[in-house]
Amino acid sequence: MAFDARFRLLDRDRAPFGLTLSVEPHWGFADETSGVRIDHFGIEMLLRADREIVPDRLFGGLNLLFDTDRTRLLAAGGIEQEPMLGIGAALAAKVAPGVWIGGEARYLRSYDGAALNTFSGQGLYLGPTLYARLGERGWLSAAWNFQAWGGATGTSGALDLVNFERHQLKFRVGYEF
């Protein structure tokens, strides 16, 4: 379960750029892949900056990420804490009224321990994005990213498939009220 709260700190219509703080706490009671009972809590915080580079034609964004998860394995009694830091940049161009297509790059670093104690891996993601208005108040957004480069500590290879997925897909539909 999760919810997302956003706080607009600067409005790009009245400031040189837009700035939004997004906070998304999440919690769960079963492991997503194995189904094992757990006690899980985490919070993802994003600081998002955006600007219209060419008015109504080209849009750019920069995101800073801090994501932390704490999982208690109920059967084994162990606790895992896995924070992550990240930075991302994106450009999108208007291709039709209400339709924007672009690309993004994101660099993520994974750690073990609540205080970023031990570096455990990194990954660079690249991929396309889409944003479309659905009538006056609706919208949808989609992004597909593939891990282009990375590495986990103690392993060889060009990707970090220990801490991160090979592909990430986000699809969201929204209605403004």
Q: Write the single-letter amino acid at 99.
A: V
Total Cβ atoms within 10 A of residue 133: 13
Report yes or no on whether pTM surpasses 0.85. Answer: yes
Residue 152: pLDDT band with limits 50, 70, 90: very high
| H helical segments located in 101-164 | none
As a whole number, the mean pLDDT across the chain is 94
* Pick from 61, 62, 65: nearest CA to 46: 65
Residue 31: pLDDT band with limits 50, 70, 90: confident
pLDDT in tens, 52-81: 999 999 999 999 999 999 988 887 778 888
